[in-house]
Amino acid sequence: MTAAPDSPRPASPDPHPTAAHPAHLHRAVAEWYAAHARDLPWRAADATGWGVLVSEVMLQQTPVARVEPVWRAWLAAWPTPADLAAAPVADVLRAWGRLGYPRRALRLRDAAAAIVAAHDGEVPLDLDTLRALPGIGEYTAAAVAAFAYGRRAVVLDTNVRRVLTRVLDGEALPAPSLTSAERTRAAAVLPRDPAAAARWSVGIMELGALVCTARAPSCTACPVAGACAWRAAGYPPDPHAHRRRVQAWHGTDRQARGRLLGAVREAGGVVPDAVLGLTWPEAEQRERALATLVADGLLVSRDDGYALP
């Protein structure tokens, strides 16, 4: 549920009739980003395409505060795709640690191997070529093209979708799944100049992460509040609320998988079934979770227990 913003009344008529014009939005967001952007290592001037790719995969459904130390350790261990492609899978999974969704670590390693095999070890610049890498989807490819190489690409993560939905559509939150209409609208508002487009994309993403948040937007700090259709309409409620699912965690197969994988990862060798039984006592769920971990390539089954690949 989205809490009432800090400016609960409908906005007064904007004194600038061109406030909603894309050029106004671009300028306002760029100026705000220049003053308020977080100092993150994958945004540094010397960040490589590989560093940006690693950051984008790690940041999927994971907060920046958890990602940053793991990203630094990962880049220290494997500063190039070739380094990661040559690393043992067990080492990769240990380095991933508790970031969650550990299949992302295997997808990164697969992508690194493809980069070495097909692109001379360099992360490609072209959007379609990035999309062709194993495990790299629409968003990640666009983010790498924009943030690593300054290309014009439509970058649509959860934060960007939320800001554009509020400012341009006047709705509290976007639909649960990305729509073709959203892609069209995002492309239409994207600056034509590649460098300006990249600045817009990272700026609007940061605005969604820090100001136009899902649960407690801070409209008084927003550089485009005067152009926001949702604010002007009086903050109507989420029209898609009935379609959203709340993901449970406690007692689920996801929690069981995380506990079991963590026990094997921390043990550093083969973990007997009896020990895993203490880690997750519910036998049927434990066996189901272990079977899916093996199927996903995250564990291997031995005669005397389970181990990392």
* CA-to-CA dists, residue 302 to 138, 232, 273, 307, angstroms: 37, 62, 10, 7
Write the DSSP symbol of residue 238. P
The radius of gyration of the chain's CA atoms, rounded to the nearest angstrom, is 22
Active site annotation includes 56: yes
Active-site position among 31, 56, 206, 287: 56
Contacts of residue 302, defined as CB under 8 A and 6 or more positions apart, other chains included, come to 270
Judging by beta carbons within 10 Å of its beta carbon (0-12, 13-18, 19+), is residue 125 exposed, middle or buried?
middle
| Residue whose token pair is 């490819």 | 141
Q: The tokens of 178 are what?
A: 């990305």
- Counting other chains too, the contacts that 187-191 makes at CB distance below 8 Å and 24 or more residues apart are 187/154, 188/22, 189/22, 189/25, 189/164, 190/152, 190/154, 191/22, 191/26, 191/152
Helices (H), ranges, the chain: 22-36, 49-58, 64-77, 81-85, 89-96, 103-119, 127-131, 138-149, 158-164, 180-189, 194-210, 229-232, 253-267, 273-279, 283-295
List active site positions. Answer: 56
